[in-house]
Each structure stands twice: as C-alpha cells, then as structure tokens.
Amino acid sequence: MNEILEIVLLSLFVSGTATVIAALIGIPSGIFLSISNFAGKKSVKRVIFTLMSLPPVVLGLIVLLIISNEGPLGGLNLLFTAKAIIIAQTLLILPIITGNIITSTEELSVKLIDTVKTLGGKKKDIIKLIMLETKPFIITAIILGFSRAISEVGAVILVGGNIKGSTRVMTGYITLNTSMGNRNESLIMGGILLVIAFIVNSLLERYRYENN
C-alpha cells in the first residue's frame, strides 16, 4: 500500500509540475498567436499542430539523447530522474495546450479585438479580456494537458527508467505488472488513475463555471 501511495504521489507531482510549466508557457503563447498577425504565423501554427502528433516515444528518445551523459545537457545528471520525466511530459503537452488555446480562442479573439479597439483599448487590455472570456477553453486545455501527461508511458519509461522508489510512476507500474502477469495489480492502479483523472476534471470543471 505504501509503495502504491508513493507512486501515486510521485505521478501527481511530476505530471502536475509538467502541466503548470506547460500551461505557463503554452497559454500566453497560444493567446499571443491567436491575436497577433505576423509573417510566418501560419507556419508556426502548422509546426505546433504537427508537434501534437509527434509520437511520445520519439520525443522521449530526443530528450534521452539530450540528457544522457554524452548529450548537451549530460552534465546536469538528469538521466533516470523525476526531473527528466517532468521535462519529457512538459514538452509532450506544450503543443497540445498551445494548439488547443489557438483553435478555441482564435475566432473569439477577432471579435474581441474589434470591440476593444472600438472602445479605445490597448493590446494589454485585449489579452486581459481574452483571458477572462476564454477561461473555459483555458481550463479545458489544462485538463487535456494533465490527462495526457499522467497517462503517458513510453517517453516516461525511456527517460525516467521506471526505477523502483525513484522514477516509477503509475503507468510504469502498470506496464511492469502487466509484463509480470500481475493483472490485478495493473487493473487496480488503472482504476486509481481513472479516479484521479475524474477528481482533477471535477475540480477544474467547478472552477471553470465559477464567476461565469
């Protein structure tokens, strides 16, 4: 039981951190991309949407190459640590969050910009207003990002190593127990993962409709 609790807490910490980092970068970038006009904007959007379908294992491999001893960040000793998992999950969900913000706010943004401009507002006001108006979409993007992060297997095992007591998260535990033929343990952990996803969804969902 103790082991399971540790694994659950580690998963929450790792995926929570990754979601916060990815949201802090992805939400402003997404909104910026949806309200601004510049040469190459279409290409940037296309790259973001393409990255949404990057196979996680490939992403994991790239992170592994960067943080392994001979990689550019080899000196930081990130390989097979929880930090490595956070990096991989952050990079995995960053395009997902950014892309979702772009698709959901773009149409609304155009209308808002016109309104704010007519009323004499500045770019700062536009961003503030969009953040307020698009809160439900932002929450949805965060939920999507977190769900994707906590359910990732391949990249996480590759860079984290699935080491017992230090980098074994819920999905790694499920993979291991399935390979060992312990189907009950796998199903129980799968159930816990679903319950967590349900709770996170419910909490954010409530926040989403507050003040609205």
Partner 1 sequence: MRKILVVLLVLLMVGCQKEEKLMIATTTSLDNSGLLAYLLPHFEEETGVKISVVAVGTGAALELGRNKDADILLVHAKEQEIEFVESGYGEKRADIMYNDFIFVGAEKIDSTNLTETLNFIKDNLEFYSRGDNSGTHMKELSLWDSIDYTPSGDWYKETGQSMGSTLNMANLAGGYTFTDRGTYLSMIDNLDLVIAYENTVELLNQYGVIKVTDAENSKVAEEFYNWILTSEAKELVSAFRKYNEQLFYVE
What are the residues binding partner 1 (CB under 8 A)?
Answer: 64, 68-69, 79-80, 157, 161-166, 168, 172-173, 175-176, 178-183
Minimum distance of partner 1 from residue 149's CB (angstroms): 20
Which C-beta is closer to partner 1: that of 175 or that of 201? 175
Q: What token pair was written down for 210? A: 């507050």
Positive/negative CA dihedral, 71, 74, 79, 82: negative
Q: How far is the CB of 163 from partner 1 (least distance, A)?
A: 5
**Residue nearer to partner 1 on the CB measure, 95 or 172:** 172
Of 151 and 182, the one with the shorter C-beta distance to partner 1 is 182
Give the shortest CB-182-to-partner 1 separation in angstroms. Answer: 7
Residue 14: CB minimum distance to partner 1, A: 16
Task: Provide DSSP, the chain.
Answer: -HHHHHHHHHHHHHHHHHHHHHHHHHHHHHHHHHH---TTHHHHHHHHHHHTTS-HHHHHHHHHHHHSTTSTTGGG--TTSHHHHHHHHHHHHHHHHHHHHHHHHHHHHHHHHHHHHHTT--HHHHHHHHHHHTHHHHHHHHHHHHHHHHT--HHHHHHHTT-TTTT--HHHHHHHHHHTT-HHHHHHHHHHHHHHHHHHHHHHHHHHHTT-
Q: Which residue number, 130 or 155, has a Cβ lying nearer to partner 1?
A: 155
Closest CB 91 distance from partner 1, rounded Å: 19
124: Cα separation from own chain's centroid: 26
Whose Cβ is closer to partner 1: residue 88's or residue 96's? 88
Cβ distance to partner 1 smaller for residue 120 or 181: 181
Letter for the amino acid at 154? G
Closest separation in Å from C-beta 43 to partner 1 = 35
